[in-house]
């Protein structure tokens, strides 16, 4: 029986020499791989009490939406700044060269709400940390963070300390 890892395509020396890019388009491009990935991520929520799923743009949408649908939970999109039409609240985070901002619709988040954050990847943890802080700023709490992949060599978990975090696949390198 295949695992999700069997569907991930490793691309050596992309985007630069020495880096192995973990391509998930081969996971979502195969019906069995997609189902397996969604099912395994969803299973990580067994026993977790939460009110909504928030997916980070854009690949967090790919996994967060079907999980929210399967569990009968609302989905809250976390988008790059300037993409949401109603009143928003934003948080900024550090990139390798500069900063970026993410935002949510202010009225999508209620005080006391317990939210699960879904994304495809934990790398440096910056985007997920900013998303968690954004929800907390609005009075919500983070019930869990679930990602398909983790690049342990980038130490993103250290930025997510204090949050329950699970990943389907953890790679030792970058």
Q: pLDDT tens across 25-72, in order?
A: 999 999 999 999 999 999 999 999 999 999 999 999 999 999 999 999
- For residue 47, how far is the Cα from the chain centroid? 19
| Whether the predicted pLDDT of 173 surpasses 90 | no
Q: What is the mean pLDDT of residues 96-109?
A: 91
- For residue 53, how far is the Cα from the chain centroid? 10
pLDDT score recorded for residue 94:
84
For residue 57, the SS3 value is: coil
Helices 31-43 & 59-71, crossing angle to 10 degrees?
A: 70
Q: Please state, as a whole number, how many other Cβ atoms lie within 10 Å of the Cβ of residue 114.
A: 15
Rounded to 5 degrees, what are φ and ψ at 23?
-90, 120
Beta bridge partners of 20: 12
Distances from the Cα of 121 to the Cα of 69, 105, 158, angstroms: 21, 23, 14
Of all residues in the chain, what percent carry a pLDDT higher than 90?
A: 92
The first and second tokens of residue 90, run together, are: 């934003």
| Whether the predicted pLDDT of 98 surpasses 90 | no
Computed over every residue of the chain, the mean pLDDT equals 96
Cβ partners under 8 Å of residue 43, min gap 6:
none
| Whether the predicted pLDDT of 155 surpasses 80 | yes
Q: What is the mean pLDDT of residues 105-127?
A: 97
- Catalytic pick among 16, 86, 87, 96: 96
pLDDT score recorded for residue 18:
87
- The question of whether 96 is a catalytic residue gets the answer yes
| Whether the predicted pLDDT of 97 surpasses 90 | no
Extended beta strands in the chain, E state: 9-12, 20-23, 52-56, 75-80, 88-95, 98-105, 114-122, 141-151, 165-171
- Catalytic pick among 22, 59, 79, 159: 59
- The question of whether 22 is a catalytic residue gets the answer no
Q: Please state, as a whole number, how many other Cβ atoms lie within 10 Å of the Cβ of residue 99.
A: 10
């Amino acid at each position: 029986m295949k695992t999700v890892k069997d569907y991930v395509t490793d691309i050596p020396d992309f985007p630069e020499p020495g880096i192995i890019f973990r391509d998930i388009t081969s996971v979502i491009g195969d019906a069995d791989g997609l189902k397996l990935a969604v099912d395994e991520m969803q299973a990580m929520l067994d026993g977790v009490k939460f009110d909504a799923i928030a997916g980070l743009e854009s690949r967090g949408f790919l996994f967060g939406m079907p999980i929210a649908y399967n569990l009968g939970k609302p989905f809250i999109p976390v988008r790059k700044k300037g993409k949401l039409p109603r009143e928003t609240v934003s948080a900024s985070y550090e990139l390798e060269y500069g900063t970026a901002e993410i935002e949510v619709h202010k009225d999508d988040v209620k005080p006391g709400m317990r939210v699960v954050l879904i994304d495809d990847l934990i790398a440096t943890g910056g985007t997920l940390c900013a998303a968690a802080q954004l929800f907390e700023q609005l009075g919500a709490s983070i019930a869990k963070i679930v990602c398909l992949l983790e690049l342990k060599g980038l130490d993103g978990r250290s930025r997510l300390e204090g949050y329950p975090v699970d990943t389907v696949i953890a790679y030792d390198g970058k």
